[in-house]
Amino acid sequence: MDLSRMKLFSRFRIWVLTCSLIFQLGYGFYLPGSYPHKYNVGDFLSVKVNSLTSIETELPYGYYSLPFCKPSEGVKDSAENLGELLMGDRIENSPYQFKMFTNQTDIFVCASDPLTSDQFKIMKERIDEMYQVNLILDNLPAIRYTQKEGYVLRWTGYPVGVKVKDAYYVFNHLKFKVLVHKYEDANMARVMGTGDAAELIPTIGKGGSDVPGYMVVGFEVVPCSIVHNLDQVKNLKMYQAYPSAVQCDPTTVSMSIKEGQPIAFTYEVMFEESDIKWPSRWDAYLKMEGSKVHWFSIMNSMMVITFLAGIVFVIFLRTVRRDLTRYEELDKEAQAQMNEELSGWKLVVGDVFRAPTSPSLLCIMVGNGVQILGMAVVTILFAALGFMSPASRGTLITGMLFFYMILGVAAGYFAVRLWRTIGCGDNKGWISVSWKVSCFFPGIAFFILTTLNFLLWGSHSTGAIPFSLFVILLLLWFCISVPLTLVGGCLGAKAPHIEFPVRTNQIPREIPAQKYPSWLLVLGAGTLPFGTLFIELFFIMSSIWMGRVYYVFGFLFIVLILLVVVCAEVSLVLTYMHLCVEDWRWWWKAFFASGSVAIYIFLYSINYLIFDLKSLSGPVSSTLYLGYSLLMVFAIMLATGTIGFLSSFWFVHYLFSSVKLD
Which pLDDT tens digit goes with each residue over 339-372? 444 556 778 888 999 999 999 999 999 999 999 9
Q: Are residues 566 and 477 in the same domain?
A: yes
Question: Does residue 595 belong to any structural domain of this protein?
Answer: yes
Question: Does residue 97 belong to any structural domain of this protein?
Answer: yes
Q: Which pLDDT does position 506 carry in this prediction? A: 85
Question: Does residue 116 belong to any structural domain of this protein?
Answer: yes
pLDDT averaged over every residue in the chain: 84
Q: Which of 268, 286, 304 is the last residue of a domain?
A: 286
**pLDDT by residue (tens digit) across 404-458?**
999 999 999 999 999 999 998 888 889 999 999 999 999 999 999 999 999 999 8
Q: Are residues 173 and 315 in the same domain?
A: no
- Domain extent, residue 130, equals 43-185+212-286
Determine contact, residues 294/536, Cβ cutoff 8 Å.
Answer: yes
Q: Are residues 480 and 555 in the same domain?
A: yes
- For the chain, give the number of residues: 662
Q: Which residues contact 303 (CB under 8 A, 6 or more apart)?
A: none
Per-residue pLDDT at 181 exceeds 90:
yes
Per-residue pLDDT at 19 exceeds 80:
no
Q: What is the mean pLDDT of residues 231-253?
A: 91
pLDDT confidence of 554, banded at 50, 70, 90?
confident
Per-residue pLDDT at 660 exceeds 60:
no
The side-by-side arrangement of strands in the sheet containing 140-141 is 92-99, 44-49, 135-137, 140-141
Question: Does residue 35 belong to any structural domain of this protein?
Answer: no
pLDDT confidence of 235, banded at 50, 70, 90?
confident
* DSSP 8-state assignment for residue 65: G
Q: Which of 286, 321, 348 is the last residue of a domain?
A: 286
Q: Which pLDDT does position 341 carry in this prediction? A: 45
Q: Are residues 553 and 408 in the same domain?
A: yes
| H or E segment to which residue 330 belongs | none
**How much of the chain, in percent, has pLDDT values that exceed 90?**
52
Instruction: For residue 2, count CB atoms less than 10 angstroms from its CB and return exposed for 0-12, middle for 13-18, buried for 19 or more.
Output: exposed
**How much of the chain, in percent, has pLDDT values that exceed 70?**
83
Instruction: For residue 4, count CB atoms less than 10 angstroms from its CB and return exposed for 0-12, middle for 13-18, buried for 19 or more.
Output: exposed
Q: Are residues 231 and 297 in the same domain?
A: no
Q: Are residues 499 and 427 in the same domain?
A: yes
Question: Does residue 554 belong to any structural domain of this protein?
Answer: yes
**pLDDT by residue (tens digit) across 72-117?**
999 998 866 788 888 888 899 999 999 999 999 999 999 999 999 9
Q: What is the mean pLDDT of residues 364-384?
A: 96
Per-residue pLDDT at 652 exceeds 70:
yes
Q: Which pLDDT does position 198 carry in this prediction? A: 38
Question: Does residue 338 belong to any structural domain of this protein?
Answer: yes
pLDDT confidence of 325, banded at 50, 70, 90?
low
Q: Which of 239, 265, 286 is the last residue of a domain?
A: 286
User: 57 or 241, which is more confident?
Assistant: 241
Per-residue pLDDT at 5 exceeds 60:
no
Q: Are residues 298 and 229 in the same domain?
A: no
Determine contact, residues 47/364, Cβ cutoff 8 Å.
Answer: no
Q: Which pLDDT does position 326 carry in this prediction? A: 58
Determine contact, residues 86/465, Cβ cutoff 8 Å.
Answer: yes
Residue 28 CA to residue 278 CA, distance in Å, equals: 9
Per-residue pLDDT at 250 exceeds 50:
yes
Q: Which pLDDT does position 515 carry in this prediction? A: 76
Question: Does residue 31 belong to any structural domain of this protein?
Answer: no
Per-residue pLDDT at 31 exceeds 60:
no
Q: Are residues 245 and 355 in the same domain?
A: no
User: 270 or 235, which is more confident?
Assistant: 270
Q: Which residues contact 3 (CB under 8 A, 6 or more apart)?
A: none
Question: Does residue 621 belong to any structural domain of this protein?
Answer: yes
With b for 16 or more beta-carbon neighbours within 10 A and e for fewer, the 403-433 pattern comes to bbbbbbbbbbbbbbbbbbbbbeeeeebbeeb
Q: Are residues 301 and 381 in the same domain?
A: yes
Q: Which pLDDT does position 421 carry in this prediction? A: 94
Omega cis (within 30) before 32? yes
Q: Are residues 413 and 357 in the same domain?
A: yes
Q: Are residues 238 and 301 in the same domain?
A: no
Residue 590 CA to residue 574 CA, distance in Å, equals: 7
Q: Are residues 304 and 280 in the same domain?
A: no
Domain count, the chain: 2
